[in-house]
Amino acid sequence: MVNEAPELASVEAFGESLLDDGRTEFTYEEAEDLAEALGLSIAAPVIAALKGYGFTMAERVPEKEVRGFHANNHDRWYGKGSCRTHGGSGWEQISGFGGQNG
């Protein structure tokens, strides 16, 4: 991926662009973008380097959701806020174990 943004060329360039904008705080999304531009798989080294330069990371606040009277209390597997970590019932994986019909 070729990124043409000069502030994503290095951690130092990003820090200077923050200072040019008068900012002392960066977001996690900005750190992820910088890590991707630098070819890193995670943003942790970028965050550590920026904090080493004296910048702080903005707190990630989850989006608030108002739950009504009819809201499902068990929305773990579907809907907003779900975590799709289950693999399903498994019939897709085991349907061919008994052999083919005919």
Of the candidate ranges 9-13, 23-27, 32-36, 89-93, the one whose mean pLDDT is the lowest: 89-93
pTM: predicted TM-score of the whole model, two decimal places: 0.59
pLDDT tens, position by position, 41-67: 888 999 999 999 999 999 988 777 676
The three-state DSSP-derived secondary structure of the chain is CCCCCHHHCCHHHHHHHHHHCCCCEECHHHHHHHHHHCCCCCCHHHHHHHHHCCCEECCCCCCCCCCCCCCCCCCCCCCCCCCCCCCCCCHHHHCCCCCCCC
pLDDT tens, position by position, 15-29: 999 999 999 999 999
pLDDT tens, position by position, 76-99: 556 665 655 555 555 555 555 555
